[in-house]
Amino acid sequence: MKRYVTSMKAIIAVFLALILSLLVGVAALRNPYRIDLSTRNFYRLSNRTIQLLEQLDRDVRITVFFQEEDFLFDDIDNLLEEYEYRSRYIEVDWVDPMRDVAETEKLASKFGVKPSQLVVVEMDGRSQVLHMSDLAVMQSVPGRDEPIMTAFKGEQAFSSAIQKLSEGKTPVVYFLLGHGEHRLGDFDPQVGYSDIATAMLSDNIQGEDLILSSEQGIPENAAAVVIAGPTQKMSATEVAMIEDYLSRSGRLFVLLDALVDTGMEGMLRRWGVVLHNDIVIDMENTLRGEDVHIRRFNPDHQISGTMGAIVQFILPRSVEPPLDENGMLIVEDELQLIDPLCSTSEKSWAETQLSDSAPPKYDPDTADRLGPIFLGLAVERGAAQDQLDVQIDPSRMVVIGDSDFVSNGNMVLGNSRLFMNSMNWLLDRDEKLPIAPKPVEKVRLGLTMGQLRMMGWINLAAIPGIAVGLGLLIWSRRRK
């Protein structure tokens, strides 16, 4: 009887322990609490991000196109776990571009992207695409083929994208037509702009066509105007309408091809952009002779500072700021900033003596100019305060000496990135949340040769010797 009572007590104790464990587990699932015990706090969210997630009231789907072998996979996975923990509105989907081919093609068509090492943040039918350069700071190291990551910008990129989509604004950008410009609805591989229209939509930018007339000027809802490769000269009235729009805190993106008189030359000169009748040639950075590969970018400007990829221009023209005889910049407005974006190598030149019969060659006795030659400028004027002490938005303009570099057949990574970076700067979308990138710390063991030899003897002799000794001791005791 006593044994029976003891057994029943044991069974009841085990049953109560199971019930207690179950209750603790349910409580933990319903009230999770995470503690970061690491010394680096690499994935700990900032207070700014936590506040943003607590205010979130709409579903956010984050689709990650990365493979497990990619070096950013673990960092993105660990960070997004923190986002999911902080908000029930965050949903993360992982898609392996190599294994989930059908799903990858479906989502690629939906978002208009080439899904390889990128992240798409989606909310209310609008989306934001984040590339590798948005997530990590890469640095080239001598002696290594691949650059290394020096800092992780994942939190800044994800939180900025969520905030941008939460604002609910879709800027409308008008593409001027009527002078032979590229068209957003054209699918032709040589001159069409349908791919860049898709890229704009994936970045939550709406593109529309625009034809200027005496009755219709630039619409009031125009966030920016793009003039992409006109082949015919504009009228003085049209140029005046464009300059008037630009002077009223407008945003203008001009892509001009070589050897074309657009009628805009005088206006651009008044805004600090000098166009020459030339074609820029760089024999050391070309594959076919007519293309120029750009590797030099201005690291101090928000458009070109994060390029990280080569840009391929097709028969570009020079786009330069006004310089005096001593090569100093001429600035007629003290509130104007003119920044070069990209340039060619020292061995390039701007060819002014064009001939179909003879190959191009630099001639110092002509107007030819040796490189480096600027091919793109960013101009900002204004940012002053009026008499009522009200902040006035500045006028912004980007001018690039080629329009074919973002046609459907030329949409390589660097080309689309330069276009979209320029567009985002014009739209004031270059601002990121003030979240500092997390530097990557390298942990190294500073061991001397003597310490390394000692570790070798410990692994090769000491540890196996202890195991053998214990085995012999147990064997001897059993024999006794």
DSSP type of residue 411: -
CB 226 within 8 A of CB 255: yes
Q: What is the pLDDT of residues 259-274, one digit of tens each?
A: 999 999 999 999 999 9
Each residue of 38-93: pLDDT tens digit?
A: 556 778 888 889 888 988 888 999 999 988 888 889 999 999 999 998 899 999 99
Nearest residue to 162 (alpha-carbon basis) of 61, 92, 85: 61
**Model pLDDT, residue 144:** 72
% the chain with pLDDT above 90:
35
Q: Is 387 a residue whose pLDDT tops 50?
A: no
Task: Answer yes or no: is pLDDT of 123 > 60.
Answer: yes
Reading the block at residue 327, the tokens are: 């090569």
Secondary structure (DSSP) of 334-395:
TTEEEEEEEE--TT-EEE-S--SSS-----TTTT-EES--EEEEEEEE---B-TT--B-PPE
pTM of the model: 0.70
Report whether pLDDT(238) > 80: yes
Is 341 exposed, middle or buried, given 0-12, 13-18 or 19+ CB atoms closer than 10 A? buried
CB contact at 8 A, 433 and 160: yes
CA 178 – CA 171 distance, rounded (Å):
23
Contact criterion met (CB below 8 Å) for 209 and 174: yes
Q: What is the DSSP string of 295-323?
A: -EE-TTSTTTTT--S-EEEES---EE--B
Q: If we measure between CA atoms, which residue out of 272, 285, 312 comes closest to residue 404?
A: 312
At 281, list the tokens: 């040639």
pLDDT at 169: 77
Q: What is the rounded CA–CA span in Å between residue 116 and residue 89?
A: 25
Q: How far apart are CA 435 and CA 207, in angstroms?
A: 31
Most confident of 39-53, 245-259, 344-358, 401-415: 245-259
What domains are defined for the chain?
A: 47-165 (3.40.30.10), 170-426 (3.40.50)
Q: Please say whether the beta carbons of 394 and 382 come within 8 A.
A: yes
Contact 435, 219 (CB under 8 A): no
Q: What separation in angstroms does the CA of 313 have from each of 79, 103, 310, 410, 412? A: 38, 34, 10, 9, 11
Q: What are phi and psi of 298, to 5 degrees?
A: -75, 110
Sign of CA dihedral 340, 341, 346, 350: negative
Task: Kindly state the helix (H) or strand (E) to which residue 150 belongs, with its residue range.
Answer: strand 148-152
DSSP 329: B
Read off the pLDDT band of 33 (50, 70, 90).
Answer: low
Relative to beta strand 251-255, strand 222-228 is parallel
Please tell me what DSSP assigns to residue 462: I
Which of 70, 191, 61 shows the shortest CA–CA distance to 136? 70
Cα(244)–Cα(237) distance, rounded to whole angstroms? 10
Beta bridge partners of 380: 337, 396
**Whole-number pLDDT of residue 464:** 84
The mean pLDDT value for 156-179 works out to 88
Sign of the CA dihedral with 158 first, then 160, 163, and 168 last? negative
- Write out pLDDT tens, residues 432-454: 666 777 787 665 656 677 777 88
Q: Please name which of 302, 295, 311 lies closest in space to residue 372, comparing C-alpha atoms.
A: 295
**Using one digit for the tens of pLDDT, what is the confidence trace for 307-326?**
878 999 999 999 999 877 76
Buried b (16+ CB within 10 A) or exposed e, 11-30: eeeeeeeeeeeeeeeeeeee
Percent of the chain at pLDDT above 70?
87
Query: Residue 334: pLDDT band by 50, 70, 90 thresholds?
Result: low
CA distance 210 to 219: 9
Q: Other CB atoms closer than 10 Å to residue 332's CB: what's the count? A: 10
Residue 388 confidence (pLDDT): 44
Contacts of 198 (CB under 8 A, 6+ apart): 112
Nearest to 126 by CA among 168, 96, 171: 168
User: What is the C-alpha separation between 7 and 391, in angstroms, rounded?
Assistant: 82
Distance in angstroms (rounded) separating the CA atoms of residues 405 and 182: 12
Contacting residues for 93 by C-beta, under 8 A, at least 6 apart: 61, 62, 63, 64
End-to-end CA, the chain: 42
